Chains A and B, each alone.
Chain A
Amino acid sequence: MNSAARPKAKVAFFDFTSCEGCQIELTNLGATVFTGLLDHIEFVEFREVMKEQSKEPIDIAFIEGSFTRESDRKRLEEIRARAKIVVAYGACAVTGGINALKNHTSDYSRFVYGKDSEMSHLESQKAQPISAAIPVDYVVPGCPIDKNEFAYIVSHLLHGKAPVIPNHPVCVECKARETICRYHQSDYCLGLVARAGCGAPCPADGIPCEACRGFIDQPNEAALAKVLVSKGGLSERRAQEKSRMFTANLREDSQVQAGENI
């Protein structure tokens, strides 16, 4: 629709420490949405699907994955210098995500690589969000991202509007879709402090919310641990450790500064 009137936005995708599953979600958008997006944007760089690479300025840079190696900082700074807008997409990029689950330990490299852990190419630091290395303008939370929310955010950015990421808990979305509460089914759930916007697919599929989109603002972590024990039946130890899975960097005891930009 009238795409000829405006030049297409130049968009590039970059990946750091991640599973690259958020990229895969984009291919799941299907023919209509995907080719529709191509009417409005031009992919100038996307290593997983394109050989083409450039050094030209970018309108929107999408960055997936956590910042886990000091040697990646330069690449991130180059992307920032080229891009008008930087969007961190996926939990790894937004908060450190699952990569941060090991951040409270110090023996992880030795545990995985044994005596080889000193080899220089195995360099790694605590997993941090992209915003720990460069300023980030917008985020697409979730593990994986919700592909429809991604399309919504891209659409807003193309129209020069700021997308809104909800700040209410996942519980609200379970109520809206009439999902029976996990706590009423002898289970536990993090939905009460987890940031909504995903449509609460996990409780609807019979598993607890693990807060992959991060916490809502000012979560009551002490109350969460209490509820996990008293209503969720978890041991004290599990209750204390529970929220490390996707929100390790957002916890009060985190040694890493997590995404401030949500």
Chain B
Amino acid sequence: MSSCDIHVNVHHLTRVEGHGNILVDIKKGTVERCEWQVPEAPRFFEAMVRGRHYTEVSRIVSRICGICSVGHTLASVKATENALGMQVSSQTNKMRALLKHAENFDSHIVHVFFLATPDLLGAPSVFPLVATHGEVITKALKLKRFGHEWGSLIAGRTTHPTRVVAGGFSELPSLEDCKNLKARILDEMSPDLNAMLDVALTLAPKFPKFSRPTEYMSLHSDQEYGLYDGVVQTVMPNGEKERYPIADYRRCTNEYVNARSTAKYTKNKMESYMAGALARFNNNYEQLHPEAKKAADKLGLKPLCTNPYLNSAVQLVEIVHSVHESIRILDDIIREGIREEAPVKPMRHGEGNGAVEVPRGILFHHYKYDSDYLCLGGDCIIPTNQNHANIQLDFEKLVPELIQQDKNEKEMELALEMLVRAYDPCISCSTHYLNVEFKRS
């Protein structure tokens, strides 16, 4: 066992969205300090929606995060619709589910191929890979662009959507657009994706081995792999599952303040829980599309998977799932045709909740509105926020194991960086918590 002194100080970790620090101090083989810190500048979104009309709220909160702006928009319009008694049509729900798949596809492509893969290939970033793996990078860029076009077809644009509004859509794609999208998924995108999956399979053995059983939280629906809709479900290391209505989100997230972080930590039954692709997989494996199950099989993944490094591998499984599910939804839309529908209007005022799975995990929004439909305040609980405590506990188990394995400073730094990157953290998202104390007017 190493008796060396090791000092890891990663200030503003690279290849993640937002700012995070890793600090580890080891003196004569003893861990003196081991911290995951979140120093992102606070942004106060929950205060910014105060006094704004319900039609503006989703456009404001989409700006919480550029990568998950579709997810924030969807969680926001669902919460607003819940608060104002707005029942959206089944066509709206179908289009939104299709959009949710586009976002997960798009974001997972970025994370797996641009942010996580360089570590597996021993490169510092994607740019040196342009010279050494040019064809792979070109395919990855094409897939990224495809995800963007797929989402834009429904949302108007993917960074801060225009067409998604409380009550429905301000503009819909044409039937022709939907037919073209299906054809392009099958003829243009799938061959590239299959080639990339083959590349990924060759990299899969390079994921570090590590295991720390924890609680996993995600949306769950009996009808489909929960992404756009469902209830909250957690699965414990022993496989025991429990469900909670969305309205009870505060009871299962239990936010608390930690001095290391501008973002709050959360916990439920254990000291921490994990959200994200791995949590969805562990909760909802049964609802995966058969082709996605096949991909999981090839990657050697089955529930309950307790290695957080494999979150990136599970994202590949979800990419396959989203492609096949989207073809099914598109077939449905093409068969039934598209009806012009004006967004539905508010029926009452009050409080409401909404939740969706964004690429990084379960996202909750909550708002309260007055009788003029002006917002009195909001609450957003973001997945990366929910993962901070779990990352910290992973660190505390992993670092002593790395000391046992005689890892040097550089190796330890890389192992910790890769662990954080595996969570695909979206830190600028995660700094918008609120002690909800709605002012009574």
Contact = CB atoms under 8 A, between A and B. Distances in A.
A151 to B, nearest CB: 14
A243 B65 CA distance: 22
Chain B facing A: main interface SS: loop
B170 A21 contact: no
B138 A21 contact: no
A69 B48 contact: no
A122 B51 CA distance: 24
26 contacts: A20-B18, A27-B110, A27-B144, A29-B145, A30-B144, A30-B145, A35-B138, A35-B141, A49-B125, A52-B127, A69-B41, A107-B47, A108-B44, A111-B434, A112-B434, A113-B434, A119-B259, A121-B261, A121-B262, A201-B162, A205-B162, A206-B163, A206-B170, A207-B170, A210-B56, A245-B56
Interface in A94-135: 97-99, 101-102, 105, 107-109, 111-116, 119, 121-122, 124
A66 to B, nearest CB: 8
Given A98-B63, A121-B259, A206-B163, A109 B51 contact: no
Given A20-B428, A202-B162, A112 B44 contact: yes
Interface stretch (A11-19, A76-84, A166-174): A11-19
Nearest to B126: A49
Interface string A185-200: 0000000000000000
B48 A21 contact: no
Interface in B146-164: 148, 156-160, 162-163
Interface string B270-304: 00000000000000000000000000000000000
Interface string B384-412: 00000000000000000000000000000
Contact of B63 (A19, A25, A112): A19
Nearest to B426: A20
Contacts of A50: 14-15, 124-127
B377 A111 contact: yes
Interface in B131-148: 138, 141-142, 144-145, 148
A249 to B, nearest CB: 14
B14 A48 contact: yes
B115 A49 contact: yes
Contacts of B18: 20
Contacts of A143: 63, 160
A136 interface: no
Contact of A144 (B50, B142, B160, B374): B160
A238 interface: yes
A245 B44 CA distance: 14
B51 A241 contact: yes
A21 B159 contact: yes
Contact of A28 (B14, B46, B148, B163): B148
Contact of B44 (A19, A30, A52, A102): A102
A210 B53 CA distance: 13
A72 interface: yes
Interface of B: 12, 14-18, 39, 41-48, 50-53, 56, 59-60, 63-67, 69, 110, 114-115, 118, 124-127, 130, 138, 141-142, 144-145, 148, 156-160, 162-163, 165, 170-171, 257, 259, 261-262, 372, 374, 377, 428-429, 432-435, 437
A113 B42 contact: yes
A46 B110 CA distance: 15
A175 to B, nearest CB: 19
A165 B22 CA distance: 41
B51 A207 contact: no
> Which 3 A-B residue pairings sit nearest by Cβ, starting from the closest?
A21-B66, A206-B170, A114-B435
A241 B110 CA distance: 38
B15 A51 contact: yes
Interface string A137-150: 00000011000000
Contacts of B127: 38, 43, 49-50, 52
Nearest to A127: B43
A31 interface: yes
Contact of A112 (B14, B42, B124, B429): B42
B114 A27 contact: yes
Given A27-B110, A52-B124, A105 B66 contact: no
Most chain A CB inside 10 Å of its own CB: which residue of B14, B124, B142, B433: B14
Given A21-B67, A24-B67, A111-B50, A30 B170 contact: no
A177 interface: no
B159 A17 contact: no
A197 B127 CA distance: 31
Most chain A CB inside 10 Å of its own CB: which residue of B162, B429, B432, B434: B162
Contacts of A74: none
A124 B259 contact: no
A22 B47 CA distance: 23
Nearest to B163: A205
A47 interface: yes
B149 to A, nearest CB: 9
B199 to A, nearest CB: 16
B257 A116 contact: yes
Nearest to A92: B63
Given A50-B126, A112-B45, A112-B47, 9 more contacts: A20-B66, A31-B142, A48-B17, A49-B127, A52-B125, A98-B63, A113-B42, A122-B42, A206-B171
